[in-house]
Amino acid sequence: MALMTGAEYIESLRKLNTQVYMFGQKIENWVDHPIIRPSINCVAITYDLAHDAEHADLMTATSNLTGNKINRFSHLHQSTDDLRKKVKMQRLLGQKTASCFQRCVGMDAFNSVFSTTYECDKAHGTNYHENFKKYLTYVQDNDLVVDGAMTDPKGDRGLAQGAQADPDLFVHIVEKREDGIVVRGAKAHQTGSINSHEHLIMPTQAVSEDDKQYAVAFAVPSDAEGLFMVYGRQSCDTRKLEKDADVDLGNKKFGGQEALVVFDDVFVPNDRVFMCEEYDFAGMLVERFAGYHRQSYGGCKVGVGDVVIGAAALAADYNGAQKASHIKDKLIEMTHLNETLYCCGIACSAEGYPTEAGNYQIDLLLANVCKQNVTRFPYEIVRLAEDIAGGLMVTMPSQADFRSELKVPTKSDMSLGEWTTKFFKGVAGVSTENRMRILRFLENICLGASAVGYRTESMHGAGSPQAQRIMIARQGNIAAKKELAKVIAGIVD
């Protein structure tokens, strides 16, 4: 099958019997739902740019499995150049959408499962690697979106998987059959899950032998029997339901998406099982996926950051403050922070190395440093953007007020729209509406519905800050650094 276009991707979603719930109700036509559709538009652009000659080198690759041209989001990295192109592609898409385009998790899962299954088969004589290669070939041939799913609800964080009062708080195997397995549980905070054709499930943390039923990896279609999803709401999301409120949305066309994905005794056939109680490889899979996904943030968040910086600079222009030295300095600081994130994403890619399976792994230490910076720098970038924008970003009236023809009973005989337009005018030559649009955009990305794709997700996506610090401590090799100091200081033990 040829690479799909964005329009073909959207039509392919209509063929699925995906079970979606939101606001306590089942959503029948979720593809066209005004709250959900912006996130679908984000995924669609990953298809359309693959057909754009200007961006084809970043957006497409040659499959090592089939030799066919494929979307880079379904590619197994074959070199450090592939790793760098991944980051550059993510920055490009962040610039184009100013939101989360939702396919990175699947791409990172592909590469993690590919290498882990190879080493698991080598140790246990299993056949998971061949299963996965056949599955990924199917994904590539059909140009599918796959939700990579790692995070479980977890329940009591102080207890192991098997010690939870409710065993379903982590996805686990409830039955092993001759033709496959039956799984139960849920995956939480799943980016783009509703917009995906398939789900690739992985353990959320290392697993002990006593809890080996939680060491499971598999793939199922989005409309598998027993699988349903509950859409996660975002700040200001119901603005999308209002009539004639596109200015108030800030980012009308694009948006992110998260959902709870529930598995109520879902059957998985053997050829779609990639780990089944091999608990000694669960930690490897988690560590590798986390590394790839932390690398991703050095691309996507930088692209969105580019747009935030541009929006803040526009707000300064529209406010008439662009010549102030402190404004110039804040824009410099925002750029410095954003490019530092990008440096980390490129660095961990350039220092990548081949796995036993043949695909390329990033430098884990530098990937975790990258994500640790992402937990901090976007917050400072947003703070500076809000500083530059001013308080009107969160206090201005609605689009309905600016466009209202309702006469206000005063001697001036002006409409409500005329009054609000008059008093929120900025510099000459810029309409009040355009000033409002850029401020609403900043509100949306700093505080509103897009915050999940930039600010808040920068903190918790791909693991909490402490998760990265644990990996930095593990990978930092303090013992070797001590020896360096001993040699130079002349210390002999």
Cβ atoms of 120 and 50 within 8 Å: the answer is no
> From the candidates 116, 191, 204, 355, which is the catalytic residue?
191
In sequence order, the 6+-apart residues with CB closer than 8 A to the CB of 366 are 344, 347, 348, 351
Structure tokens at 230: 């509950």
Catalytic choice (258, 277, 278, 287): 258
Dihedral through CA 393, CA 397, CA 398, CA 399, nearest 10? -90
Task: Select which of 9, 118, 135, 297 is catalytic.
Answer: 297
Q: Is 293 a catalytic residue?
A: yes
298 neighbors 368 (Cβ within 8 angstroms):
no
Q: How far apart are CA 70 and CA 4, in angstroms?
A: 10
Sign of CA dihedral 367, 370, 372, 374: negative
**Catalytic residue chosen out of the listed positions 42, 104, 120, 348:** 104
Q: Give the residue among 381, 236, 230 at the shortest CA–CA distance from 312.
A: 381
Specify which residues 217 forms β-bridges with.
275
As separate numbers, helices (DSSP H) first and strands (DSSP E) second, the chain gives 18, 14
In this structure, how many other beta carbons lie within 10 angstroms of the beta carbon of residue 61? 25
18, 47, 100, 277: the active-site residue: 100
356 has catalytic annotation: no
Distance of alpha carbon 11 from its chain centroid, rounded? 23
- Give the number of other Cβ atoms within 10 Å of residue 185's Cβ: 25
Which of 120, 236, 276, 300 is the catalytic position? Answer: 300
Contact yes or no for 299/347 (Cβ under 8 A)? no
Beta-strand ranges (E) seen in 38-114 are 60-62, 69-71
104 annotated active-site: yes
- Tell me whether residue 344 is one of the annotated catalytic residues: no
Which of these is catalytic: 33, 75, 172, 293?
293
Distance (Å) of CA 149 to CA 18, 98, 104, 159: 17, 23, 11, 21
296 contacts 86 by C-beta, under 8 angstroms: yes
Q: Active-site residue 326, yes or no?
A: no
Report the C-alpha gap between 233 and 24 in whole angstroms: 12
Between strands 60-62 and 172-177, the pairing is unpaired
Burial of 55 (0-12, 13-18, 19+ CB in 10 A): middle
Q: Are 407 and 413 in contact (CB under 8 A)?
A: yes
Is 11 annotated as catalytic? no
Return the DSSP state at 444.
H
Choose the catalytic residue: 277, 278, 386, 457. Answer: 457
Q: Which amino acid is at 320?
A: G
Specify whether 100 is catalytic: yes
Q: Alpha carbon 401 to chain centroid distance?
A: 35
As given in the structure block, the two tokens for residue 345 are 């994403």
Q: Catalytic site residue 54?
A: no
Catalytic residues: 100, 104, 191, 258, 293, 297, 300, 457
